[in-house]
Amino acid sequence: MRIEDAQKLAWENKLVKGFNTSDTALEFGLLTAEVGEAFTAWRKGEAGLGEELADVFLYLAGLSEMNGVDLASEVARKIEKNSGRTYEPNDHGALVRTSDA
């Protein structure tokens, strides 16, 4: 499935079911909760990790639609931008960006 199709379907589901479609702050909170559920599933080695990650994606897709963001275009743009960046470890071993080009 294409990202743009998933974004539209996630939005349609929100409309049909009467879920939040206007409170951006609430949607960010719900997205954060879903990320927490995915982390817990991963940490505990639960079988539901994939479903939790799908929930994260669907909340993100709905949040994008709510705010007029074409998620597919933004993901493609960001992947292209990231491909040109370079990183090197700092004194603590953490990777830090050394270039944007």
Which H/E stretch holds residue 72?
Answer: helix 71-83
Tokens of 61: 């897709």
Which of the four pLDDT bands, split at 50, 70 and 90, describes residue 75? very high
Domain boundaries, the chain: 3-99
CATH of region 3-99: 1.10.287.1080
Residues 35-60: pLDDT tens digits?
Answer: 999 999 999 999 999 999 999 999 99
Percent of the chain with pLDDT over 70: 99
Q: What are φ and ψ of residue 86, in 5° steps?
A: -120, 155
The pTM of this model reads 0.88
Average pLDDT along the chain = 97
Q: Taking the CB of residue 43, how many other CB atoms lie within 10 A of it? A: 9
